[in-house]
Structure 1
Amino acid sequence: MTSNRILPMSRAISEAIAQEMRTDPSVFVMGEDIGAYGGIFGATSGLLDEFGDGRVRDTPISETGFIGAGVGAAMSGMRPIVELMFVDFFGVCMDSIYNLAAKNTYFSGGNYKVPMVIMTATGGGYSDAGQHSQTLHGTFAHLPGMKVVAPSNAYDAKGLMATAIRDDSPVMFMFHKGLQGLAWMASPDGAATVVPEDTYAIPFGQAKVVREGKDATIVTLSMMVHHALDAAEALAKEGIEAEVIDLRTIVPLDRDTILKSVAKTGRLIVVDEDYKSFGLTGEIIATVAEHDPTCLKSAPRRLAVPDVPIPYSRVMEQFVLPNAKTIADSVRASVKGA
C-alpha cells in the first residue's frame, strides 16, 4: 500500500518501531517517559496503547541502569530500542554504551551479538543550554563497534529506523529535536515528507545527493541539510550551483559519494552542528585529501560549532551554530578563491 500522506519525523519513527514490533516479538522499547507520554520528542507516541507496558517500558531516571539492561537484553536474544532522552546524558552511561554495547561482540569472539538501538535527541537552537543542546556525532563515530545514524527527514527516518532495529550491531540513532515536527518546536518545511505506509528499509552507508550542482560540494547531515539547501537556493540566484550531500549515516560513511561529487565540483565545504575540532568535518576533508588532493580547486572549508559549550543565551547560541548565511558565505569564498 502506498499513499501521499505527509508525516513529521516523530511519527515516522514511531511508525517504523510499531511495524517492527508487530512482526518481531523480540523488539521492545524502554526509556524515560516513553510510555503514556510517548517520549518528549514524540518518537514512541502511540506504542503503549498498542503493545502494552510489557513491551513499552517506562524506566526510572537511571541511564546507567536502563542502558545496561538494554545491553543484557540484546545479548540474551531481544532487540531493545532504548531512548536516551538527550544525547548529552551519555556521560552517565558511557561505560554501558562503549565498554559493553560496542565491544561485547568483539570480546566474546563473535559468540554474542548486541542488536540494540540507542535512540537519542540531538541539536541546539532552542536555548536548552550546554547540557541539552549538543549533537556529538563525532564522539560516537570515533568509537569502534557502533553504527551511527542521523536522518534529516521523515522518509529517511522511517527507513533507517527499520534497518537499525534489524541490525545485529548496536546503533546510535540520533534524531535532531528540531526536525521532529512537534507543535511546540518549529521544524523546517522539508523535515516532514511523504512517507509510505508500507514497511521499507534504507541501507546504511548510502548518502544521498539532495541537490545537484557543479560549482561546489556541501557535505552535511541532520538539521544542517536544510540550512545547506537554503544556502544553495540563495547561491543559485547568483549563478553558483552548489551540490548538497545528505550523509544520512556516519558509520558506515559513504566516502565514494563524497569523492565523486568533489571530483566533479572541485570544491568542498563540510557542515556539521557538532564541535569543530577532532570531528566529522575533519574526517571528511581528510578523506578527500588522502584520496586525491589535486581534485580541489581551492582549500576545503568546514563549518561547525566552535570549541565552547552551547550558550543558553539565544543570541550567543545562534552565533555559534552554522546557518544558511554562513554556509552560503563559505561557498562564495571557496568559489571566488577568497
Structure 2
Amino acid sequence: MLDQTNTDLVTDALDGLRAPQKWLSPKWFYDDAGSAIFEQITDLPEYYPTRTEAAILRDHAAALAALVPGGGALVELGSGASVKTRTLLDAGSHFGAYVPIDISEGFLLDTAGDLMRRYPDLSIHPVVGDFTGPVDLPDAVAGASKVGFFPGSTIGNLDPEAAIDLLARARAWPDARHFILGADLVKEVPTLVAAYDDAAGVTAAFNRNVLHRLNREAGANFDVAAFAHEARWCDDPARIEMHLVATRAMQVTLGPEVIHFANGESIHTESCRKYTPDTLGQLAEAAGWGLAELLTDEQDRFAVAILQA
C-alpha cells in the first residue's frame, strides 16, 4: 500500500503526465538522494549561483543578521543543508531561534542535528513541510519577530502566481519584519545554459532522479536511461527550462494508467526564472512587501534582495 507521500506523488505525477506538454513538479526532486545530488551541483564550476550568493552573504553578513531583532526568529524556506545559512547564524548571536523548513524529512533532521551541535545556544525548530503551500510555524516562535530567508534562487522555480503566493504567506506571519530573498539575474545565455547542463552530468543525474523516485516509490517502470537531460533558454518569460526527452517511443505504467511517449517527446521538470531589478521589485510589491535594498556581486550575476514589511 502506498503511504500518503507516495499517493500524493502518483496523483501529482499523473496530473502532469496527462497534459499535452508533459510535466512533473520540481518539488519531487528533493528526496534524500535528490537533495544530496543538488548539494553536489552547488560545487560545480559551471554553477555560479551558489558561490556568488555565498560571497554576497559573507560580505553583508552583519547587516543581514541585524535585520533579525534580538530574540527574533530566522525562518528559512527550503533549507536543504543550511550551508549558506551558517553565515547568518555566525553573525546572529542575538537570534532567538532558527526554523529550517524542508520537504525532505531525513535530510532536514540530519542537518538540524548537526546545527544543534554547532550552535548549542540557539533554539532550532525543524519543520517538515512543502513551502509551496501553507506551512504551520512552531508554537515556540509564535510570539517572536520573524525574518524570512529564501536563498538559492529557488523563487525562480515558481511561476509568478505561486511566487507571489509564497511571499504573501510569509508577509502574513505574525510580526514579519523582513524577507531575505536570493534571485538569479538575467545574463548571457551560454552562461545560463551551462549552469543547468554541466560537463560532468551531475545536473542530468539530478533531473533523472525524479524518474528513479517514481520507479522506487510509485511502482512505475521508467527506463531512466532512455531519457536525455536538456536545458533550454526561453526569452519570454526569461527562464531556463529543464526537460527529460524520450530518446525512443515507449510506454510507461504509473499507478492505474499507461503513459505513452513519442520519440523526442519531453517532460518539463523545472523552470528557473531569471530576474531584473524591476521584475524583482514588481514581484515583492505584488506580495505586500517593499524592495528595501538589492545586494549584488560586481558582475551583477546574482542578487540578494531585502524585502521590508
TM-score by length of 1: 0.29
Higher strand share: 2
TM-score by length of 2: 0.31
Higher relative contact order, chain-length normalized (CA < 8 Å, sep 6+): 2
